[in-house]
Structures are given as structure tokens and as C-alpha cells.
Amino acid sequence: MTVAEKQMFENAWEFESGEQRDKMLESLTAENCGEKLLLVRDVSNLTRRELAKVIGCSESTLSRIERGVSKPTNEFLSRLLALVTIGYYKYSQLSEAEKEKISETIGTSGGVLAGVGGAIAAIGAAGVVPGLSAAGITSGLAAIGGSMLGGVAVVAAIPIATGAAGYALVKGIKAICDSNRLSCTAVDDKYEICTKDND
């Protein structure tokens, strides 16, 4: 994470301790999502209902994920990572379309796996948060492709690669569900997956 990215992150939250800051900076995973939700609520002095409203899910979904009764989806993880990255106040000011765009950008760029630094880059690319610019995308594409036309060709190849990866993703999700005793029966299919033990 660059100095500017770290400064933006620090300005987004009012931590009571260095331990809270360090925990917030830890990578977000399905396994630690419940702890991260509790931390966000603690640092922001939010009720479960308030946080659920900002994320866009039900209070019961948030409760189940916090308690580890269900697992978060990638969409949920992307939304939570965006919130952690830019802070509750800025995230709560975004429209639903902007939240969707950020989540999609984080998901396609591997932002959840990359952590806060990767999410900052993804949010900048989405161009929906004031103070983060997507102005360098065109020049970056041109640099990758050697010209603007080459950059467009790179972008045009993305849907083809995504389609091929989609098939593999479905097979992978089924294997993960089977190996982790997940039924993949979603209570709120956009945000959570219940384990077989809790069907």
C-alpha cells in the first residue's frame, strides 16, 4: 500500500487503538468476515441494522455471517472490502449503482484477495469515489497494447476470457461446496451461502 493509500485509509476511520487499525488492515476472507463485520460495527458505533442497510443486505443475513452460521458470497466480500477501504461515511453516500460498480471492479481485479491496497486500485478504476481518479486507465491500456487501438483490443478480449473462466468458476464453486460441506443453498443468494448443517 502506498503512503497516499494508507493515509486515505487512516482518514476513513477513527481507531481507538493500533490493534483495531491492524485488524482492519488484515486481508478479508470468508473465514474472518464475521470478525471484520464486528470490528466495523465497533469502530463505527453502528448497529447491525445500520450496517446491513449500508451494505444492502438484511439484518438477519448480517447476523448469520457475523456468527459464522453462513458464509459470505464474493459480492458480499467485495462490498465489505469497499466499505473497509473508503470508510463507512463515504460508502454510505454511494448510490446502489456505484456500490455495484465498485463490487464488480473489486471482484474482477481480485481486490478481495489483494486486500485494502488492491481494493483502492479497483475503486479508483471504478471512478465512483471522489478523490480517486480513473484518468490513467486510457494511458495504461495504451501502454499495455502499444497504442490506443491495442489497448482497446486488450479490453475486447476480457469478455472472452471471462466467459471461459466462468465455466471453470462454476465447477470450482461446486467442488468447494462439496469439500466444505456447503449446500450452496442461499438464504440471500446475493450475499450468503448456508452450510449443510444449517439448512
Which pLDDT does position 126 carry in this prediction?
A: 54
Give pLDDT tens digits for 157-185.
455 555 555 556 556 666 666 666 555 54
Q: How far is the CA of 67 from the CAs of 64, 102, 109, 193, in angstroms?
A: 5, 26, 28, 13
Which pLDDT does position 109 carry in this prediction?
A: 56
Has this prediction a pTM greater than 0.85?
A: no
Which pLDDT does position 152 carry in this prediction?
A: 44
Instruction: Please give the average pLDDT of every successive group of 10 residues along the chain, which has 199 residues.
Output: 72 88 90 94 94 92 92 90 88 86 70 50 54 46 46 48 56 65 55 62
Query: How crowded is residue 174: how many other Cβ atoms within 10 Å of its Cβ?
Result: 12
Which pLDDT does position 31 carry in this prediction?
A: 92
For the chain, the structural domain boundaries read: 3-135+183-198
Which pLDDT does position 77 carry in this prediction?
A: 92
Which pLDDT does position 155 carry in this prediction?
A: 45
Which pLDDT does position 137 carry in this prediction?
A: 41
List Cβ neighbours of 169 (8 Å cut-off, separation of 6 or more).
none
Distance CA 162, CA 77 (A): 20
In the chain, at which residue ranges do the beta strands (DSSP E only) sit? 70-72, 182-185, 192-195
Which pLDDT does position 87 carry in this prediction?
A: 87
Distance CA 161, CA 167 (A): 10
Which pLDDT does position 169 carry in this prediction?
A: 59
Which pLDDT does position 149 carry in this prediction?
A: 46
Which pLDDT does position 85 carry in this prediction?
A: 85
